[in-house]
Structure 1
Amino acid sequence: MSFPALTHVAITVGDLDASTRWYASLFGADPVLDEDEESGSFHHTVFALDGGMLFGLHTHTRSGPDDAFDERRTGLDHIAFATTQDELAGWVARLDDLGIAHSGIKHAHYGSGISFRDPDGIALEFFAAPA
């Protein structure tokens, strides 16, 4: 039996409306789901990405710690979106068009990537395996 693929990623955001607009611009698509979860403990907005992957934004009814995302803390380091070496320059242009600050293309022996952050400071990346 092989280990299953990821089906979705869900992140908690500080301002659901602002994050929904930001991710809709980044993804070039509107959410496919926007609802209160049946338990009433959170609201989620979900985007359908290519390849069957779902990407969810959550807000919770009970407040949590009021501190910013930091990849050095135990938990999430970053989320990487798969692309190709040939598409990286296009993603730089897209991020520039959207006014999203980024690292530019960085190369390493294991692949190349562009790092950037969402409105809550969550670390994101476009990543391409070596050609």
Structure 2
Amino acid sequence: MPFPALTHVAVTVSDLEASTRWYARLFDSEPVLDEDETAGGFHHTVFALDGGHLFGLHTHPGGVRDGAFDERRAGLDHVAFACADRAELERWAARLDELGVAHGGVKDAHYGSGVSFRDPDNTALEFFAPPS
């Protein structure tokens, strides 16, 4: 049986309003869902990305307990968005520059190329292209 594809990624944020604005600029779109689950105090905002993928922003009762994101802790290391090739990757690096989002520039490796950047909670994000 083939393993199913990813359908969505959700990250916990400390300031839902600020993160929603930041991701709306990055994705150049507005959320398709913004709702509270009042029974548990949980809130989620969801963006629809190309290819049928969803990207969610979550808040939880009691807020953030352990500070900003740190990929050195057990759990998520980073989220990578697929680019078809290095040219598309370079266009995304330029788009990050337009948005004023700091990034590490295009880095090449034998397994592909990437541009690393961070969201307002320091969550590690990347645009990634396979090797050419």
- Which band: TM-score by shorter chain? over 0.9
Amino acid at match of 2:61: T
**Match of 1:46, SS?**
strand
Matched residues in 2 for 1:30 and 1:36: separation?
17
RMSD: 1.1
Partner of 2:17: 17
Moved more, 36-45 or 70-79: 36-45
The percentage of aligned residue pairs carrying the same residue is: 72
Moved more, 91-100 or 30-39: 30-39
Structure 2 matches for 1:90-101, cutoff 5 A? 90-101=91-102
Structure 2: 5+ residue runs without aligned partners? none
Partner of 2:65: 65
Q: Tell me the TM-score normalised to structure 2 length.
A: 0.95
Structure 2 matches for 1:83-122, cutoff 5 A? 83=83, 84-122=85-123
Amino acid at match of 1:46: V
Task: Report if aligned partners of 2:14, 2:63 keep a CA contact under 8 Å in 1.
Answer: no
Amino acid at match of 1:59: T
Structure 1: 5+ residue runs without aligned partners? none
**Match of 2:46, SS?**
strand
**Match of 2:26, SS?**
helix
Matched residues in 2 for 1:72 and 1:66: separation?
13
The aligned length equals 131
**Match of 2:18, SS?**
helix
Partner of 2:126: 125
Matched residues in 1 for 2:38 and 2:51: separation?
27
